[in-house]
Amino acid sequence: MRMSAIRWLSSALALALAVLPAGAETATFPARSGSGAGVTAWWQGKVCPGDAVFVRLALGENAPSGKIGGSLEFEKDGKKVGTAEFYEVPDSSGRGRRMALAGIPLSSYLSAGKGTATARLTAGGAEIQPAMMPIEIVAKEFVKETIQLDAANTAIKTNDSDERWRQISKLNKILGTRTDADVFSLAPMLPPTGATRRTSFFADRRIFAYSNGKSSTSLHYGIDYGIPTGSKVRSCAAGKVVLAEMRITTGWSIVIEHLPGLYSLYYHLSKMDVGVGDMVSAGQQIALSGATGLATGPHLHWEMRLNMEAVSPDFFTGDFTFEEAVRNP
Ligand SMILES: [Zn+2]
């Protein structure tokens, strides 16, 4: 009894250590002589496959005025992994610095190893001193599972109707929309339910076994919480509701925009409490959970998309924008 409890505790601890992102790293990259301005950068030195590389920058006092732009690039083993554009965010420390943020989604299939993020910021069209930051990708195991579908769920999964394809293209258009001014939340996100029982995990490698004997493979894009129909569902952060409707595969569905290119998604709901265009606060009730759409039982599916890619929701419950690091240097 005692030994197994200790073994459980130590394996839970090992899991927590493997999953928790490291604290923020920070460094100042001074201006080269005659080149104008330097930057101070915040980033995470260690992230996992399926997380994201976020970098926050504060411009030096001599930075040119005008619109902030430029790009962040992440490279590993000499290959470009991804890029993203910077957008302006407020300096919540009260020091009045001009600040920028950018985030690159990382595939859950990315291998472990060391990489480099390079920020090439511009202000008023002028280039600022580039900042280069070492980032290590730490290996993470993902679950493999086979899910048996009955005839009704098989029909949903293999639905090839125009209506379903219209729904998919509408959602993709929303998730591909990136509006620089839409900075609604920089705080660490809250889980959308108080329940902690997870019936599926982010990036599970799935095989769907159909009722007709055929099968297909897919990746699970979010976290499933096993909660009874009618449980409260809360927005994980402040934002704007950009989709709230019935969909063939995902049932009653809500999508909320939080930052340029960053969205949270809630599926299989039974009752909707918000509509498109509504502004919501962090923790605000937006719906009741259910089992609508493709579901083998009542559950809440919570998903995060960054620049269209599904990323680990758990990543966003940490200080991913470095808001706390900036406030408490
Ligand atoms: Zn799910």
User: Mean pLDDT in the chain?
Assistant: 91
Work out the pLDDT band at 23, boundaries 50, 70, 90: confident
Tell me how far the alpha carbon of residue 199 lies from the centroid of ligand 1, in angstroms: 9
Tell me how far the alpha carbon of residue 87 lies from the centroid of ligand 1, in angstroms: 31
Question: Average pLDDT in the 289-317 region?
Answer: 97
89: enclosing H helix or E strand: strand 87-89
Given a cut of 90, whether residue 62 has pLDDT beyond it is no
Side chain identity, residue 31: A
Tell me how far the alpha carbon of residue 61 lies from the centroid of ligand 1, in angstroms: 47
Tell me how far the alpha carbon of residue 222 lies from the centroid of ligand 1, in angstroms: 6
Tell me how far the alpha carbon of residue 184 lies from the centroid of ligand 1, in angstroms: 25
pLDDT of residue 35: 54
pLDDT of residue 61: 84
Tell me how far the alpha carbon of residue 105 lies from the centroid of ligand 1, in angstroms: 19
Q: Whole-angstrom Cα distance, residue 147 to residue 152? A: 14
Name residues with Cβ closer than 5 Å to ligand 1, which is an ion.
224, 301
Tell me how far the alpha carbon of residue 203 lies from the centroid of ligand 1, in angstroms: 10
Of 300, 299, 293, the C-alpha closest to 251 is: 293
Instruction: Give me the percent of the chain exceeding a pLDDT of 70.
Output: 92
Domains of the chain: 2-140 (2.60.40.1930), 144-316 (2.70.70.10)
Tell me how far the alpha carbon of residue 223 lies from the centroid of ligand 1, in angstroms: 6
Tell me how far the alpha carbon of residue 250 lies from the centroid of ligand 1, in angstroms: 9
Tell me how far the alpha carbon of residue 150 lies from the centroid of ligand 1, in angstroms: 17
Tell me how far the alpha carbon of residue 219 lies from the centroid of ligand 1, in angstroms: 10
- Give the least confident one: 23-27, 266-270, 289-293: 23-27
Q: Whole-angstrom Cα distance, residue 248 to residue 108? A: 26
pLDDT digits (tens, 9 = 90+) for 202-240: 999 999 999 999 999 999 999 999 999 999 999 999 999
Angle at 148 between CA 145 and CA 150, to 5 degrees: 155
Tell me how far the alpha carbon of residue 100 lies from the centroid of ligand 1, in angstroms: 33
Q: Is the dihedral of CA 214, 220, 221, 223 positive or negative?
A: positive
- Give the least confident one: 14-18, 131-135, 211-215, 298-302: 14-18
Tell me how far the alpha carbon of residue 84 lies from the centroid of ligand 1, in angstroms: 27
Tell me how far the alpha carbon of residue 221 lies from the centroid of ligand 1, in angstroms: 7
Work out the pLDDT band at 163, boundaries 50, 70, 90: very high
